Amino acid sequence: MDKKQDSSRELFNEVKEMMDANKLIDLREMLEEYHTMDIYDILLELGNNDQVKLFEILPLDTAADILEECEADFFIKIVSQIDKEHAKRVFDEMSLGDLSDILREMDDDEREKILDIVSKADELELRELLAYVDETSGSTMKKGYITVNKNLNVSQAIRHIRSESVEADSIYYIYVVDNEQKLVGVLSLRDLFISKDSSTMEDIMVENVKSVKDNEDREEAVKMVSKYNLVAIPVVDEEGVLKGIITVDDILDVMEEEASEDMYKFAGSSEHERDVAENENSTLFEQVISCVRGRLGWLVVTLLLSFVTAYIFMKFQGLMSTKMYELIFFVPMILTIGGNVATQSSAVTVINLIDNDKKVDFQTIAKELVSATINGLVLVAIASIVLLLLGGVKMSILIIAVSILINVLLGAAFGTLMPIVINKLEADPSVVTSPVITVIMDVIGVLVYFLIISAFIGL
Amino acid sequence: MDKKQDSSRELFNEVKEMMDANKLIDLREMLEEYHTMDIYDILLELGNNDQVKLFEILPLDTAADILEECEADFFIKIVSQIDKEHAKRVFDEMSLGDLSDILREMDDDEREKILDIVSKADELELRELLAYVDETSGSTMKKGYITVNKNLNVSQAIRHIRSESVEADSIYYIYVVDNEQKLVGVLSLRDLFISKDSSTMEDIMVENVKSVKDNEDREEAVKMVSKYNLVAIPVVDEEGVLKGIITVDDILDVMEEEASEDMYKFAGSSEHERDVAENENSTLFEQVISCVRGRLGWLVVTLLLSFVTAYIFMKFQGLMSTKMYELIFFVPMILTIGGNVATQSSAVTVINLIDNDKKVDFQTIAKELVSATINGLVLVAIASIVLLLLGGVKMSILIIAVSILINVLLGAAFGTLMPIVINKLEADPSVVTSPVITVIMDVIGVLVYFLIISAFIGL
């Protein structure tokens, strides 16, 4: 790790020196050996003037690659400072899918400025892509793919592909279409490589081609690519006409986003806070705003429901004037154990519902309840031993033991069932967050504890 | 979704009918059009006898693909029932990387049984792969890749690749090695496609090839593939000799695992519980055991630290006999708010530390504390208004307000700093789990609350 950081530091210093000495031609040549992302890293570190100067000497395809991968802020900054004609030439080299992803992140004014610069044909395609709802397959797909007509033979197809492949994002798969551009098959470059020249595409293609619908949630594309080990998946419209492809690098990006999203949401924050946190250019102010926006709501819910807990507590205040008043000291214990069990069960259930699309079946519920019973009994045993050693009264120990066991069971039941019920109601189970679970278990826990106490000693 | 389920149900019924009618040749032919994973889904649904019968009639390469993708339990079950010679032939078709992944999940006896069946050469390669520590790049890599010597020209290279490509897992990249098998460059099939026949590999290759070390954590491979949009990344040893490749489908698998792992761990469960939960063949008993094993430890920690909370509470019991005794009812509120703020801050910090390898810098800490101050002040305002409306005493309101604010700030500070400190100590920040955070904030919270009460009214 350190060695890698050293070498990127060295590269940066070298670039900086060459820029200061104005050796731009040499610099351009040297950078040819480096990966786009390494050059992007250097650009991010450079001062404003150097940034534009370096970007302008990059070969068009490298510049295009960088704009495909960069953040919207960087994109706007660079494009607003370079020559319009140069920008147009760079846009021409860009994948329209990636360009539309960046346009999606901009406000309307900025977006229209860019759409004014690109060619008329590209503008139409971009507007088509931008029309898709966010997070659908259509909004995620790219336009650069290779199709061959099903009637071509291998030599014709190879000729066709060689003429087109420079434009295509991915030639890992070749999609076979009929005369109406409907997707009818797929083959890999490898299949083409090892087939006889005279075979037609229809002969050698795989007919049962996996695809996703353009207006479907992009999660479906993630699942298909992952399950079937694909490098790209075609996107078709309702009629089966090929509209674009989603490549595995897009899938990786989506997975990265969604993975941390689940955890942000569960802990009681938001997607939006994650997006801002991961944007390297976001200011402290933007971060604070996103953080407050994401979290404050859950904390207000916590506060308000805590008044209910306080109210229940107050209703049973008679306990304080009995000789069992020491049971009061165990209120936080009872509540925290219940809350923690519910957090565990709900996290596991939410993950199963969201990520794995697994049927949360009877066995899952059974597993949670049986495990909770075992965990509860162990906790009761430990608690009883500690309390005995501390010289606790038998009645108190019994009350605490029963309360722990019941709260553990209720926590597991509530943590498991709440996401399942919400899912059944077709709502997003990720509204089940740790803060909400915890505070609801406070309300349930304090009520159960005092009811048990009342049952034993009467209040 | 439903349409997809219907069509897979139809396919299953069709297969079942053909098996019952013993039309095995027709069945084999029909299945040729289907994806391995679809056939695997059917196998999983079939009864034991039909399972083996169907597996045996599958073409060797399909059978091999299925064993590459299946769970260890299924693998053991099938292999123990089919003919040894047939098993050997299927193993010959399998990727050694995938085979070793499955062997890794078996116990020693089962593993040795399989190693007895494979060819001597494969056994040696498998033992080499199995020797790598779990979750390193070496343990994740595959053996099927294509190398060309740097001195070959394009026509020689194409001839070489056509003769080898049937064996290779991935011909998306061609790795260029020197005479000592050290990795010196990379090129894509596409580069080869568009280059002159007489160019040598050294002329057309990209020299600055991204690779990972075989004994490094596989997370590094995930980061590289994701950052540089690769389809595969080569794995080299300390000398730079090419040892294997990790393909993007392995990366997707790793990402899927790690994503839900983070959430399981944070909620106070374990990787192991996740593995068992995702294994479709695990029994209720195995699931319960893994669940208890994963969660009980955190609950015991919760219980034991709760005794500290109870002890502190007891020490300040004098409060009950003052006229401010109503402050007792707000103990759960103060503790839950502190715990929830700490959970939010720690989840965000842990995610940043683990997943993004982001420097958690001064700005992160500043963001957490500034946001916590804002959130705290809003909560204090709401709480004060509600308490005023309920006719609370001014002194009580002041004490509760100050306690909420201080607990929110402490929660944010503790939730942010604890993972950072643990990370600095080179321990895994994922030991910071929601249950532990919550119960530690109970201890801190109850102490702070009673100290503030004492400061105001003297206990």
Task: Give me the total of CB pairs closer than 8 Å, taking one residue from chain A and one from chain B.
Answer: 332
How far is the alpha carbon of B456 from chain A, nearest alpha carbon, in Å?
A: 21
Bridge partners (DSSP) of residue B234 are B245
- Beta carbons of A243 and A254 less than 8 angstroms apart: no
Instruction: Give the residue on A whose Cα is nearest the Cα of B287.
Output: A367
For residues A239-268, average pLDDT: 88
The answer, for A166 touching chain B at a CB cutoff of 8 Å, is yes
Q: Would you call B298 and A340 a contact, using CB atoms and an 8 Å cutoff? A: yes
Distance from CA of B120 to the nearest CA of A (A): 29
**CA closest to A313 among chain B residues:** B329
Rounded Cα distance between A240 and A224, Å, is 17
What is the four-CA torsion angle of B257, B258, B262, B268, rounded to 10 degrees? 50
**Rounded average pLDDT over A392-417:** 94
A158-188 pLDDT, tens digit per residue, is 888 877 765 555 567 899 999 999 999 999 8
Question: So what's the pLDDT on residue B195?
Answer: 86
Give the Å distances, CA to CA, from A103 to A43, A60, A275, B263. Answer: 21, 20, 16, 32
Q: What is the pLDDT of residue A165?
A: 63
Question: Considering only residues 318 to 347 of chain A, which have any Cβ-Cβ distance to chain B shorter than 8 Å?
Answer: 320, 325-326, 328-333, 335-337, 339-341, 343-344, 346-347
Residues of A in contact with B160 (CB under 8 A): none
Contacts of B385 (CB under 8 A, 6+ apart): none
pLDDT tens-digit series, residues A347-368 = 988 888 876 555 667 888 899 9
Most confident range (mean pLDDT) of A141-145, A168-172, B79-83 is: B79-83
Considering only A113-117, A255-259, A340-344, which range has the smallest mean pLDDT?
A: A255-259
Residues of A in contact with B325 (CB under 8 A): 317, 320
Q: Which residues of chain A are within 8 Å of residue B310 when distances are taken between CB atoms?
A: 329-330, 332-333
Interface test with B, best of A348, A385, A449 (most B CBs within 10 A): A348
Residue B2's pLDDT band, with cuts at 50, 70 and 90, is very low
- Residues B263 and A267: their CA atoms lie apart, in Å, by 10
Asked if pLDDT for residue A371 goes beyond 80, the answer is yes
Chain A interface test: which of B145, B219, B344 (most A C-beta within 10 Å): B344
Q: Is B292 on the interface with A (CB under 8 A)?
A: yes
Distance CA B143, CA A444 (A): 56
Tell me the pLDDT of chain B averaged across its residues: 89
**Gap from A197 CA to chain B (nearest CA, Å):** 14
Name the percent of chain A lying above pLDDT 90.
54
Q: Which chain B positions have a beta carbon within 8 Å of A273's beta carbon?
A: 348
pLDDT digits (tens, 9 = 90+) for B254-310: 888 877 788 888 888 888 888 787 776 678 888 899 889 889 999 999 999 999 999
Is ipTM beyond 0.90? Answer: no
Q: Which of B171, B186, B182, B176 is nearest to B150 (CA)?
A: B176
Say whether pLDDT at A72 is over 90. no
For A270, the enclosing helix (H) or strand (E) is none
**pLDDT number for residue A276:** 81
- Residue A106, classed as helix, strand or coil, is coil
Contact check, Cβ <8 Å, A267/B269 = no
Of the candidates A165, A304, A434, which has its C-beta nearest B434's C-beta? Answer: A434
Q: Does A348 touch chain B (CB under 8 A)?
A: yes
Report chain A residues whose CB lies below 8 A from the CB of B339: 336, 339, 438
CB distance A441 to A339 below 8 Å: yes
Q: What is the DSSP letter of B318?
A: G
pLDDT at B133 over 80: yes
Taking contacts as CB-CB distances below 8 angstroms, the residues of chain B near A375 are 292, 295-296, 299
* Cβ pair B186, B175 in contact under 8 A: yes
Main-chain dihedrals φ then ψ at residue A187, nearest 5 degrees: -150, 160
Within 8 A by CB and 6+ apart from B333, the residues are A303, A306, A307, A309, A310, B400, B404
Hey, are the CB atoms on A165 and B228 less than 8 Å from each other?
Answer: no
- Comparing A82-86, A89-93, B297-301, B363-367, the range with the smallest average pLDDT is B363-367
The answer to whether A383 contacts B303, with C-beta atoms less than 8 Å apart, is yes
Distance between CA atoms of B175 and B182, rounded to whole angstroms? 10
**Residues sharing a CB contact under 8 Å with residue B106, sequence separation 6 or more, in sequence order:** B72, B76, B114
Question: Rounded distance, CA B434 to CA A436, Å?
Answer: 13
Give the residue on A whose Cα is nearest the Cα of B285. Answer: A367
- Coil, strand, or helix at residue B134? coil
Mean pLDDT of B321-329: 90
- Provide the token pair at B259: 């994503």
B192 touches chain A (CB under 8 A): no
Q: According to the model, what pLDDT value does residue A284 have?
A: 85
B169 touches chain A (CB under 8 A): no
SS3 A239: coil
- Find out whether A92 and A59 touch, Cβ atoms under 8 Å: no
Q: Which two tokens stand for residue B51?
A: 């399972």
Does the model's pTM come out above 0.80?
no
Longest alpha-carbon distance in chain A: 96
Rounded Cα distance between B104 and B124, Å, is 15
Residue A363 in contact with partner chain B when CB distance is under 8 A? yes
Cβ neighbours of A249 in B, within 8 Å: 226, 229
Q: Please, which pLDDT band fits residue B358 given cuts at 50, 70 and 90?
A: low
Mean pLDDT computed over A432-456: 94
Measure in Å the smallest separation between the Cα of A274 and chain B Cα atoms: 8
**What's the whole-number average pLDDT of chain A?**
89
The CA-based dihedral angle spanning residues B413, B414, B415, B418, taken in that order and rounded to the nearest 10 degrees:
120
Q: CB of B255 within 8 Å of any CB in chain A?
A: yes
Structure token digits, residue A81? 């400072």
Q: Which of A291, A309, A380, A449 is best to mutate for the B interface (most B CBs within 10 A)?
A: A291
Q: What is the mean pLDDT of residues B77-91?
A: 92
Q: Is the pLDDT at A451 greater than 70, yes or no?
A: yes
- Residue B277 near chain A (CB below 8 Å): yes
Inform me whether the pLDDT recorded for A2 exceeds 60: no
Q: Which of B212, B306, B359 best tests the A interface by mutation, with the highest count of A CBs <10 A?
A: B306
**Dihedrals φ, ψ of A298, to 5°?**
-65, -35
**Long-range pairs for B58-64: beta carbons < 8 A, 24 or more residues apart:** B58/B28, B58/B31, B59/B28, B59/B32, B60/B89, B60/B90, B60/B92, B60/B93, B61/B93, B62/B31, B62/B36, B63/B90, B63/B93, B64/B90, B64/B91, B64/B92, B64/B93, B64/B94
Q: A346: which chain B residues are within 8 Å (Cβ-Cβ)?
A: 267
Chain B CB contacts of A435 under 8 Å are: 340, 343-344
Distance CA B450, CA B320 (A): 12
Cβ contact B434–A343 (<8 Å): yes
Q: Please give the DSSP secondary-structure letter assigned to residue A280.
A: T
Nearest Cα to Cα of residue B189 among A69, A170, A251: A170
Cα–Cα dist B259/A104, whole Å: 26
- Residue of chain B whose Cα is closest to the Cα of A207: B33
Mean pLDDT of the B403-420 span: 95
Average pLDDT rounded to a whole number, residues B184-201:
86
A interface test, pick of B348, B389, B441 with most A CB neighbours within 10 Å? B348
Residues A364 and A360: their CA atoms lie apart, in Å, by: 6
Q: Look at residue A1 in the predicted model and tell me its pLDDT.
A: 39
Residue B266: the pLDDT is: 86
Instruction: Tell me if residue A212 falls in helix, strand or coil.
Output: strand
Confidence of residue A337 (pLDDT cuts 50, 70, 90): very high
Tell which B residues from 101 to 140 touch A, by Cβ distance under 8 Å: none
Q: What is the pLDDT of residue A262?
A: 81
Specify the pLDDT at position A85.
Answer: 92
Q: Average pLDDT of A22-30?
A: 90
Check CB contact under 8 Å for A267 and B266. Answer: yes
Residues B50 and B97: their CA atoms lie apart, in Å, by 29
pLDDT band at B42 (very low <50, low <70, confident <90, very high): very high
CA distance B31 to chain A (A): 11
Residue B380 has pLDDT above 80, yes or no: yes
Which residue in chain B is spatially nearest to A159 when comparing CA positions? Answer: B193
With an 8 Å Cβ cutoff, is B213 touching chain A?
Answer: no
Read off the tokens for B346: 């720690």
CB contacts, 8 Å: B195 with chain A: none
Residue of A299, A345, A360 to mutate when probing chain B, most B C-beta within 10 A: A299
DSSP A329: G
Residues of chain A in contact with residue B248, where contact means CB-CB under 8 angstroms, are 231, 248, 252
User: Binning pLDDT at 50, 70 and 90, where does residue A277 land?
Assistant: confident
What residue ranges in A16-164 does DSSP mark as E strands? 147-149
Domains of chain B: 3-130 (1.25.60.10), 145-246 (3.10.580.10), 318-457 (1.10.357.20)
Distance (Å, rounded) from C-alpha B283 to C-alpha B7? 28
B263 touches chain A (CB under 8 A): yes
The answer to whether A44 faces chain B, any CB pair under 8 Å, is no
Task: Return the exposure string of B23-56: e unless at least 16 CB atoms fall within 10 Å of the residue's CB, then b.
Answer: eeeebeeebeebbbbbbbebbeebeeebbbbbbe
What distance lies between CA A64 and its chain's CA centroid? 25
CB A211 within 8 A of CB A233: yes
